[in-house]
Amino acid sequence: MTLTYKILEKHLLSGKLIPGEEISIRIDQTLTQDSTGTMAYLQFEAMAIGRVKTMKSVAYIDHNTLQTGFENADDHQYIQTVAKKHGIYCSKPGNGICHQVHVERFGVPGLTLLGSDSHTPTGGGIGMLAIGAGGLDVAVAMGGGAYYLTCPKVVGIRLNGKLPYGVAAKDIILEVLRRLTVKGGVGKVMEYIGDGVASLTVPERATIANMGAELGATTSVFPSDEATRAFLRAQGREQDFTPLTADDDAVYDEMVEIDLDQLVPMVAQPHMPDNVDTVENIGPIKVDQVFIGSCTNSSYQDMMRVARILKGKTVHPDVSLVIGPGSKQVLTMLARNGALADMLGAGARILESACGPCIGMGQSPKTNAVSVRTNNRNFYARSGTKSAGIYLTSCETAAVTALTGVLTDPRCLDIDLEVAQPEKFEVNDNLVIPPVEAGAEDTVEVVRGPNIKPFPMGKALEDHVTGKVLLKMEDNITTDHIMPSNAKLLPYRSNVPHLSDYCLTPVDETFPARAKQEGGGILVAGQNYGQGSSREHAALVPLYLGIRAVAAKSFARIHQANLINNGILPLTFENEADYDRISRDDVLTLPDVRAKIAAGSEKLILRNDTKNEEYTVLLPLTERQKGMILAGGLINYTRENN
């Protein structure tokens, strides 16, 4: 058996472990972060669940930390109080990025973790089965409810040998992305095996598992071995260690072989994480900004390598170098051992331990900038500067590039880049606020600032759905297109009416106004619609604007679930060529859709009233999903069935 199926089997609540079948699993731990968390907790409260029933639930505050107005701080207070009341630990701003901190302090091999953030799979680095989901699914899991997913295929990624000098774990995942693309992991778990695994530390494995999200994968998982034990021991948590591996004769649905000795430094070029080439091939392009940090690359060892490269040098005069260590633990250790002084001495601008520039929370680069970054997404406009091009690399490539001012291959360095994992990490969890004891919930008042607005609720499915095609979109539209995030918009994650004026504006500035004028409509899209972030706002805001259905060639996993959870119909074309027949402003109708779905029909007729044509669209739903679509979303469905 694969390790993935071993963990799934232990947690299986319903269904059979056959790829493609719907299964449900028990969730041991959950995490939320503030930009999805406010909404998740509003929904959690709406479900009247009471106290969480998980082994551990943590609410992180790490995204919206700029606080240019009262909004973020109000959201922080709401999260901290709601967490305290309901049995959830709250990691305060400054404690670090959720995924980095979770691996350091809470991750346990063999357990399941569900998080309202698409990079929750970072926990795969420590042998968890860690999955990203929409806030509603996480809210249900906090209440002890099962998490439903399609039983994945398992891809074995065999790592052979050892990484050569100057080549990093980041280059491994960039190579996987180059080969498999941003659609390559859909419906699959990436399971890392082979003798090359042993040479990678837990944080290096976490880098790889983190960016598995960009493959569209359900998650990625590493075995739990001596390296895992050493990491947990250094975190003072050896008692959490359990050895876990796949059986020697485990059978994988697909295999990928990577010879680590053959790898070279890689770069993902604008605007997709799979637009990968080697540093050497791209050549010495001039660089304006370098950002080192994010949940992908900001561990202690990453930062120490960066400090070594910068020590005694000066950042190129035309480069702005920004560094955000991933957690309070990392930053404190750098401060104590002098590495922080090496960074500052070289001219680095140090940020607090938070997401920061990765999500456009400050440090937007200049017009037409080339920005080299160690994070995981380089989607169009995500940095806050539409004309900028973001190039994703390892920490080593980013650091040396900051010194030379042009994209540079770190293999040219002649310093020692080996950084041993510390025997003991500095542990101080004083920014993690525990919840009140069971029974004392009433002593906590949940505080809601004026920025917190009610969220839209779906309505029961009509007999017929009719609407104008408000937008026709291409392939790989991300949730950053659907609901952009940046320093100006992130403060409004608990204010859907405000966000609605920005919905899909990276695709078409006129969309929100037209949607409001028409009172809603239908969206048409290409392949992999809704890839990227788990933000439920990419479903909630269209719901608020009256979108009833999205007809696409295919959908990304989390977004498709978010649409169904909110009662919006995700339709796929049976015949992809029908996509070409539809134009913007055509009026489409799904006749008798309620009766057909209720009767279990997975094929529906989509009538183009303008062109007088008919297309077949597919809507395969499980019984539970059918219930949600008919009721108008998960909350209505839960209420009806309780």
Where along the sequence are the contacts to ligand MIC (CB under 6 A)? 35-36, 63, 117-119, 359, 377, 485, 532-535
- 362/633 with CB nearer ligand SF4: 362
Query: Which CB, 213 or 407, lies closer to ligand MIC?
Result: 213
Cβ proximity to ligand MIC: between 329 and 534 the closer is 534
Binding piece for ligand SF4, criterion CB under 6 A, among 195-203, 355-363, 414-422, 486-494: 355-363
Closest CA to 548 of 571, 525, 530: 571
Cα–Cα distance measured from residue 611 to residue 450, given in angstroms and rounded to the nearest whole number: 47
The two structure tokens encoding residue 603: 């094929």
Residue 503 CB, shortest distance to ligand MIC, in Å, is 14
Cα 473 to its chain centre, rounded Å, is 22
Label each residue of 480-533 as H, E or C: HHHCCCCCCCHHHCCCHHHHHHHCCCCCCCCHHHHHHHHCCEEEEECCCECECC
Minimal distance in Å, beta carbon 408 to ligand SF4? 24
CB of 339: closest distance to ligand MIC in angstroms? 26
Residue 375 touches which member of ligand SF4, ligand MIC, none, C-beta under 5-8 Å by kind: ligand SF4
Please give the size of the binding site for ligand SF4, defined by CB under 6 A.
11
Partner touching 92 among ligand MIC, ligand SF4, none, CB below 5 to 8 Å by kind: none
C-alpha atoms less than 13 angstroms from C-alpha of 298 in its C-beta half-sphere: 34
Position among 359, 490, 538, 541 found at the interface with ligand SF4 (CB under 6 A): 359
Which of ligand SF4, ligand MIC, none does residue 485 bind to, with CB < 5 to 8 Å depending on kind?
ligand MIC
- The yes or no reply on residue 355 touching ligand SF4 (CB under 6 A) is yes
Using rule CB under 6 A, residue 72 touches ligand SF4: no
- Decide which of ligand MIC, ligand SF4, none touches 535; Cβ closer than 5 to 8 Å per partner kind: ligand MIC
3-state secondary structure of 256: strand
Minimum distance from residue 280 beta carbon to ligand MIC (Å):
29
Comparison of 96 and 223: residue with beta carbon closer to ligand SF4: 96
* Cβ nearer to ligand SF4, comparing 150 with 327: 327
Q: Least Å distance between CB 534 and ligand MIC?
A: 4
Strand arrangement, sheet containing 12-14: 12-14, 22-25, 147-150
Which CB, 119 or 537, lies closer to ligand SF4? 119
* Spacing of C-alpha 87 from chain mean position: 24
Q: Residue 534, interface with ligand SF4 (CB under 6 A)?
A: no
- Are 288 and 416 within 8 A, CB to CB? no
Whole-number Å distance between alpha carbons of 418 and 467: 60
What CA–CA distance (Å, rounded) separates 392 from 290? 10
Which string of DSSP letters, residue by residue, matches 71-121?
HHHHHHHHHHHHHHHHT-EEE-TTSB-HHHHIIIII--TT-EEEESSTTGG
User: Which does residue 36 touch among ligand MIC, ligand SF4, none (CB within 5 to 8 A, set by kind)?
Assistant: ligand MIC
Please state the closest distance from residue 527 (CB atom) to ligand MIC, in A.
20
What distance in Å separates the CA atoms of residue 40 and residue 18, rounded to the nearest whole number? 30
Quick check: 71 binds ligand SF4 (CB under 6 A)?
no
DSSP 8-class letter at 358: G
- Its sign, for the CA torsion 476, 292, 357, 77, is positive
Residues 368-407: x where in contact with ligand SF4 by CB under 6 A, - otherwise, as a string = -------xx-------------------------------
Q: Does 559 bind ligand SF4 (CB under 6 A)?
A: no
Q: Which is nearer to ligand MIC, 117 or 204 (CB)?
A: 117
Contact letters (x/-) for ligand SF4, 286-305, by CB under 6 A?
--------xx----------
Burial class for 420, CB neighbours closer than 10 Å (0-12, 13-18, 19+): exposed
400 or 482: whose CB is closer to ligand MIC? 482
Q: Give the separation between CA 290 and CA 405, rounded to whole angstroms.
A: 9
375 secondary structure, DSSP code: S
Q: How far is CA 269 from CA 132, 178, 370, 530, in A?
A: 25, 11, 10, 20
Q: Provide the 8-state DSSP code for 424.
A: S
Least separation in angstroms between CB 152 and ligand SF4: 22
Region binding ligand SF4 by CB under 6 A among candidate stretches 352-360, 431-439, 442-450, 544-552: 352-360
DSSP label at residue 186: B
Pairing of β 188-193 and β 153-160: parallel
Q: Which of 59, 97, 108, 149 binds ligand SF4 (CB under 6 A)?
A: 97
By a kind-dependent CB cut-off of 5 to 8 A, residue 97 interacts, out of ligand SF4, ligand MIC, none, with: ligand SF4
Q: Does 117 bind ligand SF4 (CB under 6 A)?
A: yes
Question: Is the Cβ of residue 490 or residue 569 nearer to ligand MIC in the bound state?
Answer: 490
Residue 32 or 572 with smaller CB distance to ligand SF4: 32
Give the separation between CA 550 and CA 567, rounded to whole angstroms.
Answer: 11
CB of 377 to ligand SF4, least distance (A): 6
| Geometric angle at alpha carbon 16, from 12 and 21, rounded to 5° | 110
Tell me the two tokens of residue 226.
């001596």
Residues that bind ligand SF4 (CB under 6 A): 63, 97, 117, 119, 294-295, 355, 358-359, 375-376
